[in-house]
Amino acid sequence: MDNYLPILIVFTLATAYGLWYQRSRGKLKNKSSRLGKPALTANEIGQELGSRVTLVQFSSAFCTPCRATRALLTDITADLDDVVHVDIDAEKNLDLVRRLDVRSTPTTLVLNGAGVEVGRAIGAPKRADVMATLNGIK
């Protein structure tokens, strides 16, 4: 029985974590743009903000879903001239990463026209969710 206990613990914890992981990754959470929360500027993200929405993606080299996310967001923003997609190498911008509390990649922030974060997705977001969020921002 001694030998089975560690196995039991590992599989139980890993399964619980895995279920949470699968549920949480890719979900786009909308945030209320609370007053006093500092906006991001074009200078900080290295590119002009979109006039309505800016999608700020943080990526890293050891990240499989980052490429799919980049492709999806590039594709979505291609037809929209008031929405901009920026892909930032998280490792080279650690100060910004700390300030925004980005912990894993890909993480995508949804900024409104003023540069205030109104949504965030950790993991690769789904096309329908991104479209719904974009449509909700005037």
Binding site for another protein (CB under 8 A): 3-4, 6-7, 9-11, 13-15, 17-19, 21-22, 58, 60-68, 70-72, 74-75, 90-91, 94-95, 97-98, 102-106, 123, 127
Token pair of 77 as six digits: 């923003």
Residue among 47, 46, 44, 42 at smallest CA distance from 114: 42
Torsion of CA 64, 111, 53, 103, to 10 degrees: 0
In whole angstroms, give the CA distance from residue 34 to residue 58: 22
Tell me the closest approach of the beta carbon of residue 16 to another protein, in angstroms. 11
Q: Which is nearer to another protein, 111 or 122 (CB)?
A: 122
Cβ proximity to another protein: between 14 and 114 the closer is 14
Query: Smallest distance, Å, CB 107 to another protein?
Result: 9
Residue 137: CB minimum distance to another protein, A: 23
Count of other CB atoms within 10 angstroms of residue 118: 19
Tell me whether residue 65 or residue 113 sits nearer to another protein (CB atom): 65
For 45, the token pair is 């993200």
Q: How far is the CB of 27 from another protein (least distance, A)?
A: 15
